[in-house]
Amino acid sequence: MPVSGLRSKLFSTIDSREPFVWFVQLLACVLLACLVWLCRSFLELFGAGGAIRQEIFLDISNDAPFSAWALIRYFHLGEHQDLILKISYAIAILSCCLAFLRPKDWRCVTLLFFAFVFIKATMMGAVYGMYEFIHIGLFYCMIWSFTTIGWVCRKGISGDRMARLVGFAFQIHLAIAYCSSGLAKGIGTQWQNGEALWRSIYRSDSAGTRLFDFSFVHNWPWLLQIGCLSVVAFEFIYPLAFYRRFRGVIVSGLIAMHLGIMIGFGLWLFGATMIILNMFFYAQARRLDAQKDADGSLWKAIGLVACNDRELVDASTA
Amino acid sequence: MSEVKTVWIVRSFAIYLSLHLALVGISAFRGFLISLDDAELAHYKLKEYPKKIEQYGGLFSANQGFGFFAPGVSSESRIIVMGCQRGITNWHVIDVGLRGESQHFLNAFVGMGLKGPARKAVTESISAYALSKYPDIDSVIIQYQAELIPPLREKELHAREWITLETFFYYR
């Protein structure tokens, strides 16, 4: 199939459905994969006889009021630690399945969000970037799901317009994340001379998740330096992806970077999460552009300025 | 009905999301200041959010900095657990049985800069875990290690090296 045909097929698939629907489903899949992967040793790490004792978590659980440790402390449930962890784990698994099957049901999406936050807060201090970004994605999914509740739609605003508003907020959040990350990296000498990428590639694979060893790139330091500078540049200019002209290059550049992270560093779930977030950014931006072209302004497209009759008809038939 | 004013509910969502994003932006800026590690800016870092805002940010993911791997990439940290059987003087490394995502967790926990009493508490916990998992082990040595990564400009790569930052000893 020619490239243009493949491209149009991909875009028609992306555009054919409400982006939030597949966004919820994909995030639920990644989270489910993570929970299944963690299944064998969840209790070995956090359980009553686990590697990290209950007292350590109880000491620092003041910062996480919505966690198993807070529950144990407030209700004196220390002896039921394993039971609480098993129940919260089971609820998280169940909520992933429900959200995947019923992505438009606000109760399922809200359950998924809070089940995830509970598990994340319970694993305090041991979570890394992937969990933070799933958290961000699920937050906007939950807010979107509230806009599908009947009484919100009946107020006269189509769900599609509300989805664009929430999606636009998500886009700003992701742009802030990338831009500030690029800025913070850019001031480090390691990112200026290529050392950061080299250290990331050379670091030991204690988790055993890397399939390839790329330490041979040591022979081409200039390549690593170009790689580092490209990462910093792409992240820093991410807000430009709001403009049609730059969007394709920036989003595909960052997706390529996250593919590299998946393959090179073995962070499979983190890479998958970030690719999903970027795909959603792209799909949302395309929908917003199409609506902007029809309505004539961004503020109309996201529903902040008066709607027209067509939108009300959409709402009444929703 | 040619035109209808935007209803209050859209504005409520928009105002809420704007406030949320403002908190996200401020937190990202604070995260950037932390990665600057500049003494003159230290007073910005020390100012904490009010507790309610902190809790809101934690619950809805609005109080994070995004300086992942910035300004530099740190070395891999690990914990080595060595056990010694009763009556035998040879120490051998114990496999605590954590793999994949669980190992990511333990590394994140170890690598988050635990120092002093917190580090001691974690090692005590892991030693208790190792002693209960392996009943034939009488005493345990736990080492906090960091990987020594050769600089990029070094001509030849040598075998991987780890430096021991701290050692703890426990027995039954």
Would you mind telling me the total number of residues written for chain B in this entry? 172
Nearest residue of B to residue A270, measured between CA atoms:
B101
Pairwise CB contact (< 8 Å): B108 & A221 = no
Q: Flag whether residue B30 sits within 8 Å of chain A, measured between CB atoms.
A: no
For residue B37, the SS3 value is: coil
Q: Flag whether residue A248 sits within 8 Å of chain B, measured between CB atoms.
A: no
Q: Mutation test of the interface with chain B: which of A32, A181, A225, A273, choosing the one with the most B Cβ atoms within 10 A?
A: A181
| pLDDT (average), residues A44-66 | 76
**Range 44-63 of A in CB contact (< 8 A) with B:** 44-45, 49-53, 55-56, 59, 63
Residue A6 has what pLDDT? 67
Residue A257 has what pLDDT? 94
Neighbours of B112 (CB within 10 A): 12
Contact A20, A277 (CB under 8 A): no
Q: Flag whether residue A231 sits within 8 Å of chain B, measured between CB atoms.
A: no
Residue A115 has what pLDDT? 95
Q: Name the band, by pLDDT with cuts 50, 70 and 90, for residue A58.
A: confident
Contact B144, B112 (CB under 8 A): no
More confident residue, A167 or A18: A167
Q: Mutation test of the interface with chain A: which of B9, B33, B51, B63, choosing the one with the most A Cβ atoms within 10 A?
A: B9
More confident residue, A50 or A85: A85
Task: Look at residue B110 and tell me whether its pLDDT is greater than 70.
Answer: no
Pairwise CB contact (< 8 Å): A45 & B66 = no
| pLDDT (average), residues A104-131 | 88
Pairwise CB contact (< 8 Å): B36 & A176 = no
Contact B60, A141 (CB under 8 A): no
**What H or E segment, with its residue span, contains residue B100?**
helix B100-110
Q: Name the band, by pLDDT with cuts 50, 70 and 90, for residue A9.
A: low
Q: Name the band, by pLDDT with cuts 50, 70 and 90, for residue A23.
A: very high
DSSP secondary-structure letter at B156?
S
Q: Using CB atoms, which residue from B10, B55, B67 is nearest to A157?
A: B10
* Percentage of chain A modeled with pLDDT above 90: 43
Q: Name the band, by pLDDT with cuts 50, 70 and 90, for residue B116.
A: low
| Range of weakest confidence among A104-113, A155-164, B102-111, B139-148 | B102-111
Contact A242, A171 (CB under 8 A): yes
| pLDDT (average), residues A272-280 | 95
Pairwise CB contact (< 8 Å): B75 & A307 = no
Residue A216 has what pLDDT? 85
Q: Flag whether residue B167 sits within 8 Å of chain A, measured between CB atoms.
A: no
Q: Using CB atoms, which residue from B6, B61, B73 is nearest to A190?
A: B73
Q: Using CB atoms, which residue from B2, B129, B153 is nearest to A221?
A: B153
**What H or E segment, with its residue span, contains residue B147?**
strand B137-148
Task: Look at residue B3 and tell me whether its pLDDT is greater than 50.
Answer: no
| pLDDT (average), residues A159-187 | 91
Question: How far, in Å, are A66, A83, A213, A262, B151 from residue A190 at the CA level?
Answer: 38, 46, 21, 21, 10
Highest mean pLDDT range out of A15-19, A39-43, A177-181, B26-30?
A177-181
Pairwise CB contact (< 8 Å): B67 & A63 = no
Nearest residue of A to residue B111, measured between CA atoms:
A126
Q: Name the band, by pLDDT with cuts 50, 70 and 90, for residue B6.
A: low
Task: Look at residue A155 and tell me whether its pLDDT is greater than 80.
Answer: no
Highest mean pLDDT range out of A157-171, A240-254, B64-78?
A240-254
CA distance B101 to A135: 18
Contact A49, B129 (CB under 8 A): yes
* Percentage of chain A modeled with pLDDT above 70: 85
Q: Using CB atoms, which residue from A165, A169, A312 is nearest to B10?
A: A165
Task: Look at residue A309 and tell me whether its pLDDT is greater than 50.
Answer: no
Question: How far, in Å, are A143, A213, A237, A258, B105 from residue A233 at the CA level?
Answer: 31, 26, 6, 15, 30
Nearest residue of B to residue A144, measured between CA atoms:
B13
Three-class HEC string of chain A: CCHHHHHHHHHHHHHHCCHHHHHHHHHHHHHHHHHHHHHHHHHHHHCCCCCCCHHHHHHHHHHCCCCHHHHHHHHCCHHHHHHHHHHHHHHHHHHHHHHHHCCCCHHHHHHHHHHHHHHHHHCCCCCCHHHHHHHHHHHHHHHHHHCCCHHHHCCCCCHHHHHHHHHHHHHHHHHHHHHHHHHHHHCCHHHHHCHHHHHHHHCCCCCCCCCCCCHHHHHCHHHHHHHHHHHHHHHHCHHHHHCHHHHHHHHHHHHHHHHHHHHHHCCHHHHHHHHHHHHHHHHHHHHHHHHHHHHCCHHHHCCCCCECHHHHHHHHHC
Residue B115 has what pLDDT? 60
Q: Flag whether residue B106 sits within 8 Å of chain A, measured between CB atoms.
A: yes
Q: Flag whether residue B116 sits within 8 Å of chain A, measured between CB atoms.
A: no
Phi, psi at residue B51, to the nearest 5°? -55, -40
| Range of weakest confidence among A8-17, B114-123, B135-144 | A8-17
The 10s digit of each residue's pLDDT in A189-247 is 889 988 999 988 888 776 677 788 888 888 888 999 999 999 999 999 999 999 999 99
Q: How many CB pairs under 8 A join A and B?
A: 216
| pLDDT (average), residues A20-45 | 88
Residue A310, min C-alpha distance to chain B (Å): 10
* Percentage of chain B modeled with pLDDT above 70: 69
Question: How far, in Å, are A17, A92, A111, B148 from residue A98 at the CA level?
Answer: 19, 10, 9, 46
The 10s digit of each residue's pLDDT in B9-46 is 788 889 999 999 999 999 998 888 776 765 555 555 55
Pairwise CB contact (< 8 Å): B4 & A306 = yes
The pTM assigned to this predicted structure is: 0.87
